[in-house]
Structure 1
Amino acid sequence: MSLNKVDASSFESRVLKSTTPVIVLFNDASRSASNKMVATLEAAAQDQGKAIEFLEKTLEVNGPIEKMPAYDVQSAPTTLFFRDGKLVRTVVGFYGYADTFKAWVDQLAKGEA
């Protein structure tokens, strides 16, 4: 399963106006940690794909989303968790889909994050 793509022009409608919780991975395909994080989110999507929308955005160092003060995405992989258009969690770096990261995803799906 591949992640759906989002970009600056679709970010507002797909993330900020979504009625479903959203997880966005800021990715740099040239970095192995980013590629591993894609696999983590694909596993999470298999598990929680009906409750959460999983999206991938190519990291743009000076991109309009990355430079927003509320997000301040400086490196890849960075994963942002949204509920009702509001940022509820920022995860920097690689996590496997187990233990802590899985708990965060489950919390978002249940409305606890």
Structure 2
Amino acid sequence: MKVEQFYNKNQFVIRGENKTVFQSYNSEIAEINNDTGKLKLGCDWDYSKTTTKHLYLFLNDFKRILNYETREEIDNLNTVSNKRAYIQKLIDSKVIEYDENMI
């Protein structure tokens, strides 16, 4: 397992165990399965403007390991005016998995 600081002192990327995880403070915000490219968001994904800002950076920096469908949707993220609503739409349509127990 490898832990790297990500843009800010309280933001981390953790690589290992066949997944890439974005952690903000003590909360797991996002997880990418390195085999399937599936993206999962935790319950704190939209906790604050800073958290969502770093989530968008994580998605952009690591989109190469996302599956094709999710990567295409993440590419569209830069063209929408309300990114939070767009991500929620992707969760609602099951393009992105949501795990309320991911902490």
Provide the TM-score with structure 1 as the length reference.
Answer: 0.28
Higher strand share: 2
Question: Relative contact order (C-alpha < 8 Å, sep 6+): which is higher?
Answer: 1
TM-score normalised by L of structure 2:
0.30
